[in-house]
Amino acid sequence: MKKSYIIAIVLVAVAIGVILSTFADSATYATFDEAMENPERKYQVVGTLSPGKALEYNPEVDANLFRFYLVDREGLEKEVVFKGSKPQDFERSEQVVIKGKMNGAAFQADELLMKCPSKYNDGSEGLKEFKAGEES
């Protein structure tokens, strides 16, 4: 067989692998409902902070534990547990994107993305990202 055929076959195989792994590894935008149906799968949930519910962060007890309540786009409220510190000004965020999966009744978030309103409402909000650390 010609070398170029072998190369072509390898290339196609790798390309298919790349495509499949991208789809397989990507989290899905979802609501809490969908995340609860499938607690094994990781999801990305977009929502807003529950009005009137306190954010719980006690660094003197545990600097790496932060809990809050989030309302998803369909209005369902869930507790979110984030293994990291509370981002500064989290209270002010307009919109929060959480990545992770359901763990019992609470959503276990590995990552938080928050959108803060700017002083003037011109749409140039900042987006900030916070990650819980890699497992060690």
Which spans of this chain sit near other proteins (rule: CB under 8 A)?
2-4, 7, 11, 14-15, 18-30, 41-44, 46, 57, 59-65, 83-89, 92-93, 97, 99, 110, 113-114, 116, 118-120, 122-129, 131-136
Identity at 136, one-letter amino acid code: S
Task: Count Cβ atoms within 10 A of the Cβ of residue 9 and give its class: 0-12 exposed, 13-18 middle, 19 or more buried.
Answer: exposed
For the CB of residue 49, give the shortest distance to other proteins in the complex, in Å.
Answer: 13
For the CB of residue 85, give the shortest distance to other proteins in the complex, in Å.
Answer: 4
Identity at 54, one-letter amino acid code: A
Which DSSP category does 97 fall into?
E
Among candidates 35, 48, 129, which has minimal Cα distance to 84?
129
For the CB of residue 77, give the shortest distance to other proteins in the complex, in Å.
Answer: 20
Q: Would you say 3 or 75 has its CB closer to other proteins?
A: 3
